[in-house]
Amino acid sequence: MADQGSIRTTAGRGRLFDSVLDTIGDTPAIRINNLGPDHVTIYVKAEAFNPAASVKDRLAVNIIEAAERSGALKPGQTVVEATSGNTGIGLAMVCAAKGYPLVITMAESFSVERRKLMRMLGARVVLTPRADKAMGMVKKAQELAAANGWFLAHQFETGANADIHESTTAREILGDFAGQRLDYVVTGYGTGGTVTGIGRVLRKERPETKIILSEPANARLVASGHAQKRNADGEPDESHPAFEPHPIQGWTPDFIPLVLQEALDKGFYDELIPVAGPDGIRWAQELARNEGILTGISGGSSFAVAVQVAEKAAPGAVILCMLPDTGERYLSTPLFENVPEDMDEDERAISASTPGYRLGQA
């Protein structure tokens, strides 16, 4: 924490960047000072510090660059992917920087601002019916790729997803907590890349650190024990029977991704804790109001679980919670439902408390 008697200073990063893509990663672990029980220390890894403001920037750049290295992606070839938003925004940034056309398929139930961000970055967005859930947008992307010879990013199946978390996210955690205690890492899953990549590293190099996985209370796919049906390529064949719609965008599609399956099969988590969507919304709001940290419903949900873990943890325990993105991605969702656009009574009273100019004055 800065000395209150001196002004803050900065000295630059000590390097110049050749591309926006070179700024991906090295996101900060930030201490929580005003929330949670006093007997533990909670940090959050704020992935909104990535250039397109989410953890999915990592997998987006690695999917494209791995495909370039292998020759699977040709110069000027169109990229297509199914996404709830963050991967699409990350891919739109990467494709804009590298000169690839991008088509995104996305269920119409996801927030409008995500569509606009992708289109702002040059992508075309094809909406699929809400009733078809994530499976609908996945199948549409598969159809478009097959019909047009486009490169399908395969975020839910590709090894490039967990690989980038193994080589960056996990290494950042090791570096930030080198020589220090780290008892728990708390994360949800979307594609499963974060928990799988972190798990590969922490199981070997910080085996004392427990990994806590979470999923929506009303979409407990992993907890159900019901195996996901897949085709020969590892893609889901059908919606998982335990899925129900939930408000935690970016978490838990209506199938168990192949990338996550590695973490499940190899035991890369120690406990699975469900969280209700309203609790995720409440804790995202608490982080904003009490810590000045703006995160989305997914981040609020992870933090809700981190607080549960903190309450039961031994004195002195240190917890790291993953915050996948920024709250600005949720302006049209229930996260901002009770945030008014117009002045409330208190604000009107403040305006009226001085004789100078105020709204409505002739």
Question: Does the active-site annotation cover 298?
Answer: yes
Amino acid at 157: E
Average pLDDT of the chain is 95
C-alpha–C-alpha distance, residues 302 and 47, integer Å: 13
pLDDT of residue 334: 93
pLDDT tens-digit profile, the chain (362 residues): 556 779 999 999 999 999 999 999 999 999 999 999 999 999 999 999 999 999 999 999 999 999 999 999 999 999 999 998 899 999 999 999 999 999 999 999 888 999 999 999 999 999 999 999 888 999 999 999 999 999 999 999 999 999 999 999 999 999 999 999 999 999 999 999 999 999 999 999 999 999 999 999 999 999 999 999 999 989 998 999 999 999 998 899 999 999 999 999 999 999 999 999 999 999 999 999 999 999 999 999 999 999 999 999 999 999 999 999 999 999 999 999 999 999 999 999 998 898 876 666 55
Question: Residue 31: which residues within 8 A CB-CB, separation 6 or more?
Answer: 41, 42, 43
Residue 354's CB is within 10 A of a number of other CB atoms, namely 8
pLDDT per position as a tens digit, 328-358: 999 999 999 999 999 999 999 998 898 876 6
Where do the structural domains in the chain lie, given as residue ranges? Answer: 20-53+164-336, 56-152
Q: In angstroms, rounded to a whole number, what is the distance separating the alpha carbons of residues 87 and 149?
A: 21
CA distance 28 to 44: 8
Residue among 203, 212, 209 nearest 182 (CA): 209
* CA–CA separation, 283 and 324 (whole Å): 14
Q: Give me 27's structure tokens.
A: 């996101």
CATH number among 3.40.50.1970, 3.90.650.10, 3.40.50.1100, 3.40.190.10, domain 56-152: 3.40.50.1100
The answer to whether the 20-53+164-336 and 56-152 domains have the same CATH topology is: yes
Active-site annotation holds for 70: no
Kindly compute the dihedral angle of the four CA atoms of residues 256, 258, 260, 266, in this order, to the nearest 10 degrees: 120
Annotated catalytic residue, options 56, 133, 140, 210: 56
pLDDT, one tens digit per residue, over 282-317 is 999 999 999 999 999 999 999 999 999 999 999 999
Instruction: For the chain, report the end-to-end CA distance as a whole number of angstroms.
Output: 47
Q: What is the 3-state secondary structure (H, E, C) of 123-182?
A: CEEEEECHHHHHHHHHHHHHHHHHHHCCEECCCCCCHHHHHHHHHHHHHHHHHHCCCCCC
pLDDT at res. 1: 58
Catalytic residue, candidates 54, 214, 239, 298: 298
For tokens 């209150």, name the residue. 4
Tell whether domain 20-53+164-336 is in CATH 3.30.2350.10.
no
Q: Considering just the CA atoms, what is the radius of gyration of the chain in Å? A: 21
Pick the closest to residue 32 from 350, 318, 270, 355 (CA basis): 318
pLDDT at 89: 97
Residue 339 exposed, middle or buried by CB count within 10 Å (0-12, 13-18, 19+): exposed
Which alpha helices (DSSP H) does 294-344 contain, by range? 297-312
pTM score above 0.85: yes
Answer for the pair 362, 335: CB distance below 8 angstroms, yes or no. no
Looking at residue 230, what DSSP letter applies?
A: B
